[in-house]
């Protein structure tokens, strides 16, 4: 985001700029190496099929990481991510475009610049595969 989002200028209901991702099987292997999650459903079609899956699936934590990128891209260097949580609702498959979205859900009344975001990932069928919240601290507008 080119402009710094200031607490005073951020309205409940405002949407974050959407982010698109296209996970690939190669990315899954790279993520497995980085995260240590070598569950074969993320890279072995036969293992995935044996578990009743239609194909290999994207790591849920990889999708969660993409959601955090959505948030930090919006925050820019002046903001700060304080905490986040997610819930996994549906599987994400490689080669499917993910649309990562967020909306300002709540602003703190305490004057501390804290904002709660509702965040989620959608697959091409419009299903929310991962949902969650993020609490961020936005800078105050200079007086």
The label of the residue with tokens 């995935």 reads: 48
The domain segmentation of the chain, as residue ranges, is 7-24+57-137
Q: How far is C-alpha 8 from the geometric centre of its chain's CA atoms? A: 24
pLDDT of residue 15: 97
pLDDT digits (tens, 9 = 90+) for 79-115: 999 999 999 999 999 999 999 999 999 999 887 899 9
User: Domain 7-24+57-137 carries which CATH code?
Assistant: 3.10.129.10
pLDDT of residue 48: 95
pLDDT digits (tens, 9 = 90+) for 32-57: 999 999 999 999 999 999 999 999 99
Beta-ladder partners of 122: 99, 128
Percent of the chain whose predicted confidence (pLDDT) is above 70:
99
Per DSSP, the residues of the chain read --S---GGG--TTPBPPPEEE---HHHHHHHHHHH----GGGT-HHHHHHTT-SS----HHHHHHHHHHHHHHHHTTT-EEEEEEEEE-S---TTSPEEEEEEEEEE-SSSS-EEEEEEEEE-TTS-EEEEEEEEEEPPPPP-
Distance of alpha carbon 4 from alpha carbon 77, whole angstroms: 8
Instruction: Give the pLDDT band (50/70/90) at residue 1.
Output: very low
């Amino acid at each position: 985001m080119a402009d710094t989002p200031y607490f005073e200028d951020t309205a409940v209901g405002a949407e974050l700029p959407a982010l698109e991702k296209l996970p690939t099987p190669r990315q899954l292997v790279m993520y497995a190496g980085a995260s240590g999650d070598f569950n074969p459903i993320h890279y072995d079609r036969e293992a995935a099929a044996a578990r009743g899956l239609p194909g290999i699936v994207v790591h849920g934590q990889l999708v969660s990481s993409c959601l955090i990128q959505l948030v930090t891209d919006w925050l820019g260097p002046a903001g700060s991510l304080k905490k986040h949580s997610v819930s996994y609702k549906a599987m994400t498959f490689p080669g499917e475009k993910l649309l990562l979205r967020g909306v300002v859900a709540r602003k703190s009344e305490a004057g501390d610049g804290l904002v709660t975001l509702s965040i989620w990932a959608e697959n091409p069928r419009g299903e929310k595969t991962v949902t969650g919240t993020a609490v961020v601290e936005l800078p105050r507008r200079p007086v």
